Structure 1
Amino acid sequence: MAADPPSTPCAERAPDGQYPGRGGRLTLWGVAIIIIAVSVFGDHQQPDGGPQSSRSVGSASAPTATLQAARPLPRSTPIRLIIPSISVDAPFIPLSVGSSGQLEPPPAADTNLVGWYAGGVSPGEQGTSIIAGHVDTATSAAVFAGLYELRPGDRFSVDRADGRKAEFVVDDTETFPKDDFPDERVYADTERPEVRLITCAGDYDQSVKDYTENLVVFAHLV
Structure 2
Amino acid sequence: MGRDHWRVERTRHSPWGALALVLLTGLALVRNGPDPSPGPPRPVAAASAHRHQNAPVVPAADLTVRPLAYAPASRVVIPAIQVDAPLVDVHLEPDGSLGTPPPEEPRLAGWYRDGVAPGQLGTSVLVGQVDTVAGPAVFDGLGSLRRGNRIEVPRQDDRVAVFEVYGVEVFSTAAFPGTRVYRDTGRAELRLIAQDGCTTSDGHDTCVVVFARLVATR
Q: Tell me the TM-score normalised to structure 2 length.
A: 0.74
How far 1:126 sits from its partner (Å)? 0.5
What code does the residue aligned with 1:71 have? R
* Equivalent residue, structure 1, for 2:212: 219
Q: Where do residues 88-167 of structure 1 align in structure 2 (5 Å cutoff)?
A: 88-167=83-162
How far 1:163 sits from its partner (Å)? 0.5
User: Is contact 1:92-1:114 (8 Å) kept?
Assistant: yes
User: Following the alignment from structure 1 to structure 2, what is the Cα–Cα distance between the partners of residues 117 and 65?
Assistant: 24
Question: Alpha carbon RMSD of aligned pairs, Å?
Answer: 2.9
Q: What SS is found at the alignment partner of 2:66?
A: coil
User: Following the alignment from structure 2 to structure 1, what is the Cα–Cα distance between the partners of residues 22 and 79?
Assistant: 37
> Does 2:57 align with 1:63?
yes
User: Following the alignment from structure 2 to structure 1, what is the Cα–Cα distance between the partners of residues 144 and 24?
Assistant: 35
User: Following the alignment from structure 2 to structure 1, what is the Cα–Cα distance between the partners of residues 186 and 66?
Assistant: 11
How far 1:184 sits from its partner (Å)? 1.5
Q: Where do residues 49-60 of structure 1 align in structure 2 (5 Å cutoff)?
A: none
Normalized per residue, the structure richer in strand is 2
Relative to structure 1, is the Cα distance of residues 143 and 128 closer, same or farther in structure 2, using a 3 angstrom cutoff? Answer: same
How far 1:51 sits from its partner (Å)? 9.8
What code does the residue aligned with 2:211 have? F
User: Following the alignment from structure 2 to structure 1, what is the Cα–Cα distance between the partners of residues 60 and 131?
Assistant: 31
Aligned mate of 1:37, from 9, 22, 28: 9
User: Is contact 1:80-1:159 (8 Å) kept?
Assistant: yes
**Structure 1 stretches of 5 or more lacking a match?**
1-6, 9-30, 56-60
Q: Tell me the TM-score normalised to structure 1 length.
A: 0.72
Relative to structure 1, is the Cα distance of residues 92 and 205 closer, same or farther in structure 2, using a 3 angstrom cutoff? Answer: farther
> Does 2:163 align with 1:168?
yes
Relative to structure 1, is the Cα distance of residues 171 and 194 closer, same or farther in structure 2, using a 3 angstrom cutoff? Answer: same
- Count residues in correspondence: 182
User: Following the alignment from structure 2 to structure 1, what is the Cα–Cα distance between the partners of residues 174 and 9?
Assistant: 18
Q: Where do residues 10-29 of structure 1 align in structure 2 (5 Å cutoff)?
A: none
What code does the residue aligned with 1:105 have? T
Q: What SS is found at the alignment partner of 1:78?
A: coil
User: Is contact 2:88-2:110 (8 Å) kept?
Assistant: yes
How far 1:214 sits from its partner (Å)? 1.5
User: Following the alignment from structure 1 to structure 2, what is the Cα–Cα distance between the partners of residues 198 and 78?
Assistant: 16
User: Is contact 1:126-1:190 (8 Å) kept?
Assistant: no
User: Following the alignment from structure 2 to structure 1, what is the Cα–Cα distance between the partners of residues 60 and 104?
Assistant: 37
Deviation >3 Å, runs of 4+: 41-44, 50-55
Aligned mate of 1:192, from 168, 179, 187: 187
